[in-house]
Structure 1
């Protein structure tokens, strides 16, 4: 059953009780990377293997994301800054324990491609925060795999 999470703003990415930050270098351009993240929401399952279904809602102002294992997120997009930043807040989820969750993707140009930084900012009771900290290596691996998959996908089909 879906539970309503606390409504947080963009400042939460810096003030959250738990912040997990991951980064990767990709050969794709900032423009292509941003388009895949923000404009092709339905394409996420093709490169982020934890995502089984994704769709934009409310004319792109929100998203509905389904993960392996049955977790569902209903989200509000908070930042759409072309080629540099994409962020969203989870409003409802069936995941236990979460009180607030915001994810931010930052893109910066690099010598050959782009650098992407993903911040996973969350709040919940101490046991949940501990579990997420312990799960950091797995989340990092999922992020790195997703970026590698996305980079390959964009190299094959730059117009995605």
Structure 2
């Protein structure tokens, strides 16, 4: 069943009933990480193993994402500040119990050329959904660390010698 979610904005990241925050440092620059997040949407499945397909939509103001297992998201970009923040809101999904969902990727320079990547998943939903999100924290954290590590290696392998 397809569900239309509440159209929250970026401030939801600070007020959501469920907020999962993960961070990891990478060697890649904020510019390179931002390009991979915001400009190479179709490349997400190559580094984020939970994502089976990703496509820009609506002239770049949205995304269509499919996860392994069949969950689908139609998203609207709510923030795109080059080299700093990339965030999107889920507008439509087939996931049960969710009422509102925003993901924010915040990039901060870390050392001479590296980046501190912070991923925040902000959500609201039924009591059962909120419980599942909280219980899933460890698995989402592992998925994030693995994905950002793969992204860093991918970016590093595409750098000019």
TM-score (norm 1): 0.98
Which residue is equivalent to 1:8?
Answer: 8
Partner of 1:62: 62
Q: How many residues align?
A: 159
* Deviation readout 1:89-147 (Å, 9 max, x if unpaired): 00000000000000000000010410000000000011111111011000000000000
Q: How does 1:39-50 map to 2 (within 5 A)?
A: 39-50=39-50
Using the alignment, how far apart are the partners of 2:107 and 2:133 within structure 1?
Answer: 24
Cross-structure match for 1:145: 146
CA distance in 1, matches of 2:97, 2:126: 7
Aligned to 2:155: 154
Alignment of 1:17-32 (within 5 A): 17-32=17-32
Runs of 4+ in 1 over 6 A off after TM superposition: none
Name structure 1 gaps, 5 residues minimum. Answer: none
Query: 1-side partners of 2:159 and 2:109: how far apart?
Result: 17
State the secondary structure of the residue aligned to 2:86: strand
Q: Which residue of 2 aligns with 1:134?
A: 135
Q: Which runs of 5+ in 2 are unaligned?
A: none
CA–CA separation in structure 1 for the residues paired with 2:81 and 2:5: 24
**How does 1:54-133 map onto structure 2 within 5 Å?**
54-111=54-111, 112-133=113-134
User: For residues 15 and 132 of structure 1, what CA distance do their matches in structure 2 show?
Assistant: 16
Scaled by the length of structure 2, the TM-score of the pair is 0.97
- Asked whether the equivalents of residues 76 and 91 of structure 1 are also in contact (C-alpha less than 8 Å), the reply is yes
Question: What's the offset of the Cα at 1:158?
Answer: 3.1
**Partner secondary structure for residue 147 of structure 2:** helix
